[in-house]
Structure formats: C-alpha cells, structure tokens
Amino acid sequence: MPLTGKQRRALRAEGHHLEPVVIVGQSGVTEGILGAITEALNDHELIKVKINEGPGTRQEAATSLAEGTGSELVQLLGRTVLLFKKRKEDSKYEKL
C-alpha cells in the first residue's frame, strides 16, 4: 500500500538524522547492493542510501532500489534516498 502524504512527512522527520547505511558506487544497482539494502531494511525499516555517480540517473537508481527491495521510496534529496519497508512483526512504525 502506498504511503500517504502524512506518513511520508513523518518518515522524513524520522530519517532526517540518519546516516547513509549503503552507498551505491560506479557499478550502479547490483544484486549485491540490493541484498545489502534488503538486509538493512529488515534490521532498521527506515534507511538512507547514498547514490554516487554511476550508470543512469539518480531518479532511475532510486526507483530501481525501491522496486528491487520491495520498499517505499520516501524521499530523494540530491543523491540521498530514504527508503522504508515495514516489518510484519515487531515494527517500530506500527502506527503507520
């Protein structure tokens, strides 16, 4: 289910102070990157990802990261992407 505007705003506020957990390098979005992001999402639910110069645009990379991990793209600001994927159990974000 897509996030509403209020939910996105709340998640952006939560993610403001986070540091990037994964950095996408020159190779772009690879299976290894998707695996690392999936694991980080399982641990944290809300993560930041830094996109460095690579093949394709940052918008394309952000979209493929969200689709490849089954997460929601909360925000794309510059080269930083905020991704969210709610856990089925023990979620910190039950109210969303």
The residue ranges of every structural domain in the chain are 5-84
| Residue whose structure tokens are 């089925």 | 88
The shares of helix, strand and coil residues in the chain, as percent rounded to the nearest 5, are: 40, 25, 40
The fold of the 5-84 domain, in CATH, is Translation Initiation Factor IF3 (3.30.110)
- pLDDT band at 18; cut points 50, 70, 90: very high
Percent of the chain whose pLDDT exceeds 70: 99
Mean per-residue pLDDT of the chain? 93
64-87 mean pLDDT: 96
pTM score: 0.93
pLDDT value for 2:
87
Count how many Cα atoms sit within 13 Å of the Cα of residue 37 in the half-sphere of its side chain.
Answer: 32
